[in-house]
Amino acid sequence: SEELLPWANYDHPVEDSYGRNLIYENEHFEVMVMSWNPGDMSAIHDHGKTQWGCVQIYGQAEHATFKVDEEAIYTLSRETLQSGQIIHVNHSLVHQMGNSGHNRFLSLHVYGINQVENVPQHGVTADSNLYYAYESSIAKVSGGAFFALDKEGIDAKLNGPKADFPTHIRDYTETVKRLHMAYMAKDSYSMSEDYLLLKEGLYHSYHLELLKENLELQIDKNGHAKDSVWWKILYKEIQAWSMLKDQIDGEENSQDSFHDYAAMYDALIGNPCLEDFMANYISMVFKQFVEDAETKTFLSLGCGTGLIEEYILENHGISKKNLFGFDLSNAMVDIAKKRIQAEQGDVLDLDPSIAQWDIAFTGLNVLHYVDHELFEESIQRTASIVRPGGFFFGDFITPDHIRWYPNFMTSSDSTILSLRSPELKESEGRMYMKSHIINLDFSKEKVFINDAGSHLRHLPAMHRVRALFEKYFTGSVHLYDAYSLREIAPHADSCASTRYFVVAKKKV
């Protein structure tokens, strides 16, 4: 790439989406060098009358391709290209490339045509289409594939195809990002009003309508994505949407990974799980294993927002003064304190000399978040704070839980959405399920995006879970399917729902 440096243009105007220099042209082909600073990105475009060509990358580049029909445009792929890779160009290629890394780089572009009589007056790539997908328009241009061109830079403006949500929101994001860079670089910017209006619209909740329209087509009745490629693209584009908001607003991620998630937790997880299966198994446990509930002390390990514990108080006779919960997340505890007695705490700090309890409880597979090396200790410590004659109950997930685990969850009013990308991981002979979670709250005028990051859950075999409870509780241990409430046989590796609960009694 050093031979291309004489044509480098890293100091291109900030309004331009990248640097662009012509090396050579004749009636059959043209050769150009593009310069890419970190953050530079082209608009979605084709190459005019080009029939053949190639692009060689001399750095790490982001590259996306698109399908354009008469009425629709959607993203086919978005990937990272490594230095030295070559992109084949033909007349049908509609793509976008840019620099999402930290180092600037150059790229060499060759575009050609066979029929000279078809060459426009301004060159092979003249009369190119820029697809401004966020507004469903096409800009005819004879220059660079730049975002937000003014009227002087456009030969003609036409109605364009409607974009699907991933294409729409990423194009909108990149347009606002480029305008934001120009706005921040200049005291007086001619497109300030356009930028402020577009920025205002980028995070408006009206985007929910298009997203829901797409999700209805792409998600099955069980919440699973029908097309894994489309799902990965959607995920990437929403992450880019979220990252720009953080850049513009100057926000930083909270040290508490559940901080922003806590406010949405009940709508997405707590209430649906309570209604789907938790209320039923809790009712069964109280009917079969609890007498004189008002006299029993109750400890919830990993109480979250306190929603489930509040339900137990209201429906199963436990006295509020006798119920206590703790959670690792301060944000969760802040919400839980409005419902129950709660503090920040860790199951590994349980001390029987401080207090013992008649009933210990964990909901929503809390113990799966404990490191596998500490899993046995967490059960041992839980057993240590249960009084003789008392018991533990709590729910778990099977090692094949991923077959149930949905890519998409929503609140009952469909204004809060959770997008999930799970995968099974193995480490040192242990199985884990890693889930990356993005939550979107459209319940107010402005959408709130919470990229909750990746969460890792240890997936111990069911027989190991049973054996550890038998080891430390010494009384009877029963496992039940959390949905059907049927008891699970000792030899079982899984159960129909992939969720089960344990009831472990402590000998008197």
What pLDDT, in 10s, does the model give residues 440-488? 999 999 999 999 889 999 999 999 999 999 999 999 999 999 999 999 9
Q: Which residues contact 297 (CB under 8 A, 6 or more apart)?
A: 322, 323, 324, 357, 358, 359
Burial class (CB in 10 A: 0-12, 13-18, 19+), 134: buried
Q: Which fold has domain 262-399+461-506?
A: Rossmann fold (3.40.50)
> What's the mean pLDDT in 132-155?
95
In this structure, the strands spanning 341-344 and 323-327 are parallel
What pLDDT, in 10s, does the model give residues 39-58? 999 999 999 989 999 999 99
pLDDT surpassing 90 at residue 62: yes
CB 50 within 8 A of CB 89: yes
- Cα–Cα distances (Å) from 310 to 85, 163, 343, 386, in that order, read 58, 45, 15, 21
pLDDT at 253: 47
Domain locations along the chain: 2-161, 203-252+402-457, 262-399+461-506
- Identical topology for domains 2-161 and 262-399+461-506: no
Q: Select from 110, 143, 157, 136 the least CA-distant residue to 16.
A: 143
> What's the mean pLDDT in 130-158?
95
pLDDT surpassing 50 at residue 256: no
**Which tokens belong to 402?**
């991923």
Q: Select from 450, 440, 452, 451 the least CA-distant residue to 212.
A: 440
Q: Which fold has domain 2-161?
A: Jelly Rolls (2.60.120)
User: What is the CB-side half-sphere exposure of residue 260 using CA atoms within 13 A?
Assistant: 18
Q: H-helix or E-strand containing 208?
A: helix 207-218
Query: Does residue 312 or residue 255 have the better pLDDT?
Result: 312
**Which tokens belong to 217?**
């087509």
Q: H-helix or E-strand containing 432?
A: strand 430-441
pLDDT at 70: 83
Q: Distance between CA atoms of 270 and 272, rounded to whole angstroms?
A: 6
Q: Distance between CA atoms of 307 and 252, rounded to whole angstroms?
A: 28
The reported pTM is 0.91
What pLDDT, in 10s, does the model give residues 95-122? 999 999 999 999 999 999 987 765 556 6
pLDDT at 248: 87
- Cα–Cα distances (Å) from 23 to 1, 87, 97, 110, 313, in that order, read 14, 19, 20, 10, 76
